[in-house]
Amino acid sequence: MSKQAKERRLKPAEAMSKVRTLRTGARKLNLVAASIRGLRVQRALNELEFSPRRIAKDVRKALYSAISNAENNHSLDIDSLVVAEAFVGKNLVMKRFSARARGRASRVEKPFSEITIVVRELGGAA
């Protein structure tokens, strides 16, 4: 016997992609996510291509994945997709130590984040 299939969390005209371990802080990642929220996917890809932030390259890969999921898994038209949601969450934190003066040490925290991108097909001609 297999488990019951879970009900789909998204609407029929939506597709999602999630990246769970991005090596940056959530606040920095949220600045990049805020720059693409609500944009058409082609415009969002251009924003990420020319963004000066290092993490924009990984967000761009996540957006490409969401677009591919929309096209292949849900048969959506990629020309009418818009970034409906882009939200960020915290993930694990690597704890390291740095040597300080007089035999002391201080903690260095290296945070990881996760991003979820939901693309939605616009209804009708837009």
Question: Which one, of 78, 83, 68, lies nearest residue 35 by Cα?
Answer: 83
pLDDT digits (tens, 9 = 90+) for 51-89: 999 999 999 999 999 999 999 999 999 999 999 999 999
* Tokens (6 digits) for 87: 């939200």
Fold of the domain spanning 14-121: Ribosomal Protein L22; Chain A (3.90.470)
* Tokens (6 digits) for 24: 């940056």
Rounded CA-CA distance 89/68 in Å is: 23
pLDDT of residue 125: 45
pLDDT of residue 109: 97
Question: Which one, of 53, 22, 38, 2, lies nearest residue 118 by Cα?
Answer: 38
Query: Does the pLDDT of residue 6 top 90, yes or no?
Result: no
Strand partners, 119: 15, 83
- The upper half-sphere exposure of residue 116, i.e. CA atoms within 13 Å in the direction of its Cβ, equals 11
pTM value > 0.75: yes
